[in-house]
Amino acid sequence: EAGVVQSPRYKIIEKKQPVAFWCNPISGHNTLYWYLQNLGQGPELLIRYENEEAVDDSQLPKDRFSAERLKGVDSTLKIQPAELGDSAVYLCASSFSGSGTDTQYFGPGTRLTVL
């Protein structure tokens, strides 16, 4: 079974440029999460989707960050414009919320460097 797929794995951009990250969750998982992980820290939730609906986006900086999950499968996270402080790893995870275990499966992440 394929795991959570993320692309690109690495991205280097100059500040004020836009950037987008893509995530394909595990087949059948209706819940999708985007996390931000700074160096030496644990992941912090940015947004959680239940199917197409964003049910928790309280931590998403909405002035520059946006996300979408069309058709309740793949998701895209966008930053526009990027700032130096956005350099981090962006992790996508998915789960089947009806399983009763809430185990989240993580992708390998996208490492963003803003110059």
Partner 1 sequence: KQEVTQIPAALSVPEGENLVLNCSFTDSAIYNLQWFRQDPGKGLTSLLLIQSSQREQTSGRLNASLDKSSGRSTLYIAASQPGDSATYLCAVGGSGTYKYIFGTGTRLKVLA
Shorter beta-carbon distance to partner 1: residue 81 or 87? 87
- Which residues, other chains included, contact 46 with Cβ-Cβ below 8 Å and sequence gap of 6+? 34, 35, 36, 57, 59, 60, 65, 67, 77
Count CB-CB contacts under 10 A for residue 87.
17
The reply to whether 11 sits near partner 1 by the rule CB under 8 A is: no
CA distances in angstroms from 71 to 15, 34, 37, 104, listed in the order given: 31, 17, 27, 20
User: Could you say which DSSP state residue 85 is in?
Assistant: G
The reply to whether 36 sits near partner 1 by the rule CB under 8 A is: no
The reply to whether 1 sits near partner 1 by the rule CB under 8 A is: no
The reply to whether 45 sits near partner 1 by the rule CB under 8 A is: yes
The reply to whether 87 sits near partner 1 by the rule CB under 8 A is: no
* Count of residues engaged in binding partner 1, rule: CB under 8 A: 25
Shorter beta-carbon distance to partner 1: residue 18 or 61? 61
Give residues in contact with partner 1 (CB under 8 A).
Answer: 4, 6, 31, 40-45, 48, 56, 91, 93, 95, 97, 101-109, 111
